[in-house]
Chains A and B, each alone.
Chain A
Amino acid sequence: EIVLTQSPATLSLSPGERATLSCRASRTVASTFLAWYQQKPGLAPRLLIYDVFSRATGIPDRFSGSGSGTDFTLIISRLEPEDSAVYYCQQYSSSPITFGRGTRLEIK
């Protein structure tokens, strides 16, 4: 299976700053089959980005995804307090579908 390694494990930034979250795959993710999710305590994950680049419905353009092959990035520009959450990447290029262990983003 494809193992996804997310870094950093924890990120602490101030409002207005830019967050860069990394997701590295143990082997090539075919096509653009990678997504990003945001999860807040007690809630289900929320789809942010699908197919590497595309924002899900209702997601502000402060969230952007990029990458290919084995290296993918989620950028959150102009951080807001409500961006405090855990962010997960997911690959659906090959079975089984797998998720990274998450990056915890804290807004100071």
Chain B
Amino acid sequence: QVQLQESGPGLVKPSGTLSLTCAVSGASFSSSNWWSWVRQSPGKGLEWIGEIYHNGNTNYNPSLESRVSISIDKSKRQFSLKVTSLTAADTAVYYCARVFTAGSLDHWGQGILVTVSS
């Protein structure tokens, strides 16, 4: 059974940097999988942030690309998200997920609420 679990701070300051980690269990982490980050806010709904391949290749949403980076650590079976220059608009529930077929997402973490506030 594939399981994903997000971790990180629930409160971050404006203009700061958000760092989240997604730990993966129950799945081969070195196989040909892409891993993704999605966020959800009342204002923007579900928003795809980006994805990373097991070899480190990445794709990002152009609307966030200048502020986002995704990395992977296969030895720890985890991948991570960094978002810089935070504003209140970045307040959202952040999900990590496994990419299935060409882009659908078949396994999701439970989500972590991140609030940007001073």
Contacts from A to B (Cβ < 8 Å): 31, 33, 35, 37, 43-47, 50-51, 56-57, 88, 90, 92, 95-102
Contacts and interface: CB of A to CB of B under 8 A. Distances in A.
- Dominant secondary structure of chain A at its interface with chain B: loop
A47 B99 CA distance: 11
Contacts of A95: 59, 61-62
B46 A99 contact: yes
A44 B95 contact: yes
B106 A47 contact: yes
Secondary structure of the B contact surface, majority rule: strand
A96 B106 contact: no
Interface in B44-80: 45-48, 59, 61-63
B102 A33 contact: yes
| Range class of the B interface residue count | 20 to 34
A81 B10 CA distance: 33
A45 B103 contact: no
B56 to A, nearest CB: 18
Nearest to B103: A92
Contacts of A50: 100-101, 104, 106
A101 B45 CA distance: 6
B104 A51 contact: yes
Q: Which of B97, B103, B108 has the most CB of A within 10 A?
A: B103
